[in-house]
Amino acid sequence: MHGFNYREPVIPRSRFNEPGRFGRMFPWLRGLKAFDPGPDALGAVGGPMDGGNPPPQDISQNNPRIRAGYTFLGQFIDHDLTLDATSILERQVDVDGTTNFRTPAFELDSIYGLGPAVQPYLYDQPQGGRLLISPDGHDLQRNVQKRAIIGDPRNDENIIISQMQLLFIKFHNKVYDTEFADMPHGRARFEAAQTFVRWHYQWLVMNEFLPRIVGSHLAASEIAQPSYEFTTEHAFMPVEFSVAAYRFGHSQVRPGYAVGQNRGAALFPDLADAAFTDENGIPQDLRGFREVPQELRIDWAFFFGPGGASPALGQASKKIDTLISTALLKLPTGVIPQSDTRTPRLRSLASRNLQRGIDMNLPSGQALACHLGIPVLTDAETWTTNGTRVGNGPAPLWFYCLREAEVKTGGHRLAGVGAKIVARTFVALMMKDKASYLVQDPGFVPSLGSGGRFRMSDLVNYTLGGGLVSEEVSALPGDDAAVA
Sign of CA dihedral 30, 31, 33, 35: positive
**Domain chopping of the chain, boundaries:** 22-483
Q: In 188-242, where do the E strands start and end?
A: 237-238
Q: Quick one: which of 82, 79, 84 has its CA closest to 98?
A: 84
Rounded CA-CA distance 206/436 in Å is: 11
CA distances from 272 to 268, 334, 342 (A): 9, 9, 9
Q: What is the DSSP string of 33-44?
A: ---BS-HHHHHS
Neighbours of 271 (CB within 10 A): 11
Q: What is the pLDDT of residue 99?
A: 45
Rounded CA-CA distance 298/468 in Å is: 14
Q: What is the pLDDT of residue 34?
A: 86
Q: What is the pLDDT of residue 477?
A: 87
Q: What is the pLDDT of residue 145?
A: 95
Q: Return the SS3 of 369.
A: helix
Q: In 69-143, where do the E strands start and end?
A: none
Cis peptide before 37 (omega within 30 of 0): yes
Q: What is the pLDDT of residue 240?
A: 97
Rounded CA-CA distance 330/345 in Å is: 9
Question: The domain 22-483: what is its CATH number?
Answer: 1.10.640.10
CA distances from 171 to 23, 176, 296 (A): 33, 9, 21
| Burial state string for 351-370 with b = 16 or more CB within 10 A and e = fewer than 16 | bbbbbbbbbbebbbbbbbbe
- For the whole model, what pTM was predicted? 0.92
Rounded CA-CA distance 335/347 in Å is: 9
Please list the alpha-helical segments (H only) found in 48-104: 68-81
Per-residue pLDDT of the chain (484 residues; tens, 9 = 90+): 443 343 344 444 444 445 557 899 999 998 998 899 999 999 999 999 999 998 888 889 999 999 999 999 999 999 999 875 544 343 344 455 444 446 789 999 999 999 999 999 999 998 889 999 999 999 999 999 999 999 999 999 999 999 999 999 999 999 999 999 999 999 999 999 999 999 999 999 999 999 999 999 999 999 999 999 999 888 999 999 999 999 999 999 999 999 999 999 999 999 999 999 989 989 999 999 999 999 999 999 999 998 654 556 789 999 999 999 999 999 999 888 888 888 888 999 999 999 999 999 999 999 999 999 999 999 999 999 989 999 999 999 999 999 999 999 999 999 999 999 999 999 999 999 999 999 999 999 999 998 999 999 999 999 999 889 888 888 888 887 655 4
